[in-house]
Amino acid sequence: MIVRKMHFRSFFYLQLIVTLYANNVNIIRDYFLFKQVNGVVGFSCGNSENDYQIIRIFNEAGIAASIKQLTSNIDISQFLYSDHWNLGVFLDLQCSFTDDDVVKLFSETSAYYMFDHLHQWLILGESMNRTIQLLNDSVFSIITDVVISVPKNDDYILYDVYNHCKPCGGLLNITEFGSWRENDGLDINLKADKFSRRWNYHKMKVRVAGVVTQRPKDQILTEYLQEQNSVALTDNWPKFGYSLIVDIAEIFNFTLEVLELDHWEKNDRNGPLVTGLSKRIFDLGYYPSILTNERLNYADVITQVWPVRTCFMFLTVPSSKIDINIIFRPFSTNVWYMIFLLSFIIIFALWMILKVEKNVNNSDCGTTVLIIVAAMCQQGLPFVSNKWAGRVAFLHIMIFGLLVYNYYSAAIVSARLNAPSNKMNDSLYSLINSKMKLTAYKDIYLNFLLRAPVPEVQYFKKYWDIIPENKKFRPIEEGVKGIMNPRYAYHADPINVYPVIERMFSKQMICQLSEIHLFRPNTLGLWSTKNSPFREITKIGLIRIATAGIRKREVLRWTSRKPYCDKDKHYVSSVTIHETIPIILLLFIGIVLSAIICFIENIVFHVLQTKQRKENYKQVLQKYIAVIRKKIITKQ
């Protein structure tokens, strides 16, 4: 009788275990089908029949599945690895696992940050208290997706478990997620997405840091970061980033512990912000920073928010080179050809007319050339004619000369007003070749910009390193004053310089302002620690801020517009010596040519006059000899 009772009790427990395993299989199936995961991995009790049943169920649903028994030598990083798709993970604590193996499992999964949005956990526990004691929530965050199933009578209650940030003092939150019944299956209570129901951080303190270099010592940091200076925008990068972080803190109801970084260590390649984030001294950075591959090894980019560029600014003044073509530039080449052709026709026609008119003096070809030149220059003409043909020709020559003279004068004025500026290419090579004096505003990030692997930046760095240290840097006011003089270029963030330029520059100088970029237009990002529990909510907050137009408003608030240049207005300036040299040179050539011709004419005249005198003397001598001979003959 006793033996029968023992066999009956063993059979009862065996049936209970089989029923329990069957229920666990059904819960796992229903939960992950509800989650619509791409694959499932799990730690089962090692029962091959149950494992086969779970794998078959998921394979029939098109979901890959892999199951192992939890042991101390399992490679967690490989088994639970997921980089591109959602992975379902289940752990059956009703199996005969040792507490040490379970603790080690949660420790390793925390070390590899496997409680992120790519891993969705289902833990089958015997009781909530024991499961919570074994659970490691050190890397839990708002994106954690962990559900614990606990049996209650014939049903199972599912609890949603998360922690906003345990290192920040956050507490483990346990909320009833739903239930599972054998006949009804899965019944979900929490149907809202996790961000909607977990948004409240209950005034949790978050450490944020940024680079601030211009804060007065007697001013509170938070007040300074919210202060807007209309005269000169200083520390506008951290002020912009801080304004966005404040908006995000209000959305998710957490408080800020604001830290200030004011120096960059000499051997620090990535800057104080990224270095502090890598050491987890603070959680978020409110200072927008440049994205580099090296920095991504130490911190995470939340999203890019701040448009920025830096450049050398200088004035583009009229060229100091002598341009001989300025004389011919008012007319195009075909117009000059036409003028020369018409002049030749006029000279020939006028010469023929003068030849016909017998009473006109000096009717040679030189006179006709002089007449057309005088008409072109609007001067007096050596011409008198009493015939109709000569007068008609004279009238047309005067009209032709008047038109050419006025068109040429107007074209010279128009060409000077619309002369293209001697713009320099946006290239550091061109800047160095220009031999300008170069200085810069001493920004904390300047040396970092010079380490960029771009060839022209490295070429510029070699030139920049040669400049003595005491001649490299100038304050913004002095730098802008230097720009007012030609052959001087000043490097800074244009946002800081534009307000000073608008106050000090004339309208013409604003239109002459040119820029050559050291750091070309880009968008800087806000940063967080690696796998930060605040990275996702900050990204969501920034996306909401951007779609609502708040980010654009903050950009306009913390930037200054480029001084306006009215390109339709022409600014009159004095004629420089470089513009008049071609004309003076032409006059000088004419004077020299006239002097040479005059000298030649005088020599020729002197030679001819001497020859004439000799001829006259010879003739007189011959007459005298003839007279003497005649007298001698008469006497004889």
DSSP tag of 139: T
For residue 210, the cross-strand partners are 260
489 forms bridges with which residues in the sheet? 438
Among the residue ranges 145-159, 394-408, 524-538, the one predicted with the least confidence is 394-408
| Measured distance CA(559)–CA(494) in Å, rounded | 9
Q: Are strands 119-124 and 300-315 parallel, antiparallel or unpaired?
A: unpaired
Q: Are 241 and 305 in contact (CB under 8 A)?
A: yes
Residue-wise pLDDT for 375-403, tens only, equals 777 776 656 666 677 777 777 777 888 88
The predicted model gives 339-363 an average pLDDT of: 72
pLDDT digits (tens, 9 = 90+) for 415-448: 766 666 667 888 999 999 989 999 999 888 898 9
| Beta-sheet pairing, 204-211 with 254-261 | parallel
DSSP state of 326: G
d(CA 611, CA 622): 16
Here the tokens at position 392 are: 């008609």
Q: What is the mean pLDDT of residues 13-29?
A: 59
Q: Is 80 exceeded by the pLDDT of residue 353?
A: no
Measure the CA–CA gap between 224 and 168, rounded to whole angstroms: 26
For residue 261, pLDDT beyond 80? yes
Tell which residue, 117, 142, 135, has the closest CA to residue 204.
142
* Three-class secondary structure of residue 540 per DSSP: helix
pLDDT tier for residue 320 given thresholds of 50, 70 and 90: low
pLDDT given for residue 19 in this prediction: 45
Say if CB 337 and CB 344 are below 8 A apart.
no
- 251-260, 407-416, 607-616: range with highest mean pLDDT: 251-260
φ and ψ at residue 355, rounded to 5 degrees = -65, -35
Residue with tokens 């609890």: 159
Mean of pLDDT values over 252-267? 91
What pTM value is reported for the model? 0.76
Average pLDDT, integer, range 96-122: 91
Residue 110: predicted pLDDT: 93
Interatomic CA distance for residues 50 and 124, integer angstroms: 15
Q: What is the pLDDT of residues 195-247, one digit of tens each?
A: 889 999 999 999 999 999 889 888 999 999 998 875 556 789 999 999 999 99
The rounded distance, in Å, linking the Cα atoms of 58 and 304 is 40
Mean pLDDT across the chain: 85
Q: Are strands 39-44 and 513-528 parallel, antiparallel or unpaired?
A: unpaired
- Rounded percentage of the chain residues whose pLDDT exceeds 90: 45
| Alpha carbons 256 and 251: distance in angstroms, whole number | 13
Which pLDDT belongs to residue 321? 64
The alpha helices in 471-521, defined as continuous H runs, are 476-483, 494-504, 507-511
